[in-house]
Chains A and B, each alone.
Chain A
Amino acid sequence: MNSRIPYIASNTFREAVRDRVLYNLIAFAVLMCGASILVGQISIGIERLVVINLGLTAVSLFGVVIAIFIGIGLVSKEIEKRTLYTVLSRPVRRWEFIVGKFFGLAGTLVVNTFFMALGVFLALLYVSQRFQAADAWVLVALYFIVLQFLIITALALFFSSFSSPLLSAVFAFSLFVIGSFAEDLRGFAAMAQGATRWLATGAAYLVPNFSSLNVISSVAHGQGVAATLIFSETAYAITYAAMALCGAVLIFERRNLK
Chain B
Amino acid sequence: MKPSRQITLVAGALLLACMFASILLLRQVDRMRSGATLQEVLYISSPQALKRLSLGYGGLLADIYWTRAVQYFGSKHFAGSQHYDLLAPLLEITTALDPHLTVAYEFGANFLASKPPNGAGMPQRAVELSEFGIRNNPDDWRLYYDLGFIYYMELKDYKHAAEAFARGSQVSGAHPFLRVMAAQMAQHGGELRMAQMMWSTTYQSTQDSDVRANAATHLRALQVEQDVTDLENLAIAYRAKMGHLPGSFADLQAAGTLREIPVDPLGHTYKLTSDGRVEVRTPDDFPFLTKGLPPGYVAPTPRFLPSD
* A residues lining the B interface (CB < 8 Å): 39, 42-46, 49-50, 52-54, 57, 60-61, 177, 180-181, 184, 210-211, 214, 216-217, 220-221, 223
Contacts and interface: CB of A to CB of B under 8 A. Distances in A.
A44 B107 contact: yes
Q: Which 7 pairs of residues, A with B, have the shortest CB-CB distance?
A: A217-B59, A45-B103, A43-B67, A214-B56, A53-B60, A53-B59, A180-B55
B107 A45 contact: yes
B208 interface: yes
B56 A220 contact: no
Interface string B187-210: 000000000000000000000101
Contact of B63 (A43, A181, A223): A43
A211 B56 contact: yes
A121 B190 CA distance: 50
A216 B57 contact: yes
Q: Which of B57, B62, B70 has most A Cβ within 10 Å?
A: B57
Interface in B18-74: 52, 55-60, 62-63, 66-67, 70-71
A221 B67 contact: no
Contacts of A50: 60, 63
A217 B61 CA distance: 10
B101 interface: yes
B98 interface: yes
Interface of B: 52, 55-60, 62-63, 66-67, 70-71, 98, 100-101, 103, 106-107, 208, 210
A52 B101 CA distance: 13
A221 B100 CA distance: 7
A214 B208 CA distance: 30
Contact of A42 (B55, B58, B71, B101): B71
A43 to B, nearest CB: 4
Contacts of B60: 50, 53-54, 57, 216
A62 B213 CA distance: 41
Contact of B66 (A43, A52, A217, A223): A43
24 contacts: A44-B103, A46-B63, A46-B66, A46-B67, A46-B101, A50-B60, A52-B59, A53-B60, A53-B62, A53-B63, A54-B63, A57-B57, A57-B60, A180-B56, A181-B52, A184-B52, A210-B56, A214-B57, A216-B57, A216-B59, A217-B58, A217-B62, A217-B100, A223-B100
Q: Which of B52, B60, B106, B208 has most A Cβ within 10 Å?
A: B60
A223 B58 CA distance: 16
Contacts of B59: 49, 52-53, 57, 216-217, 220
B70 A44 contact: yes
Binding site of A, secondary structure by majority: helix, strand, loop or mixed?
Answer: helix
Q: Which of A43, A50, A214 has most B Cβ within 10 Å?
A: A43
Contacts of A39: 63, 67
Contact of A43 (B55, B70, B98): B70
B55 A177 contact: yes
B70 A42 contact: yes
A223 B103 CA distance: 16
A217 B98 contact: yes
Given A54-B60, A217-B59, A44 B52 contact: no
Contacts of B98: 217
Contacts of A177: 55
Contacts of B56: 180, 210-211, 214, 216
Nearest to A50: B63
Nearest to A214: B56
Q: Which of A39, A211, A214 has most B Cβ within 10 Å?
A: A214
A182 to B, nearest CB: 10
Q: Which of A46, A181, A221 has most B Cβ within 10 Å?
A: A46
Nearest to A52: B59
A50 B98 CA distance: 12
A180 B66 CA distance: 23
Contacts of B57: 53, 57, 60-61, 214, 216
Contact of B101 (A49, A61, A223): A49
B27 to A, nearest CB: 21
A45 B58 contact: no
Nearest to A213: B56
Contacts of A43: 63, 66-67, 70-71
B212 to A, nearest CB: 13
A3 to B, nearest CB: 39
A46 B52 contact: no
Contacts of B71: 42-43
A54 B210 CA distance: 24
A52 B71 CA distance: 21
Given A57-B60, A180-B56, A217-B59, 5 more contacts: A43-B70, A46-B63, A46-B67, A54-B63, A181-B55
A48 to B, nearest CB: 10
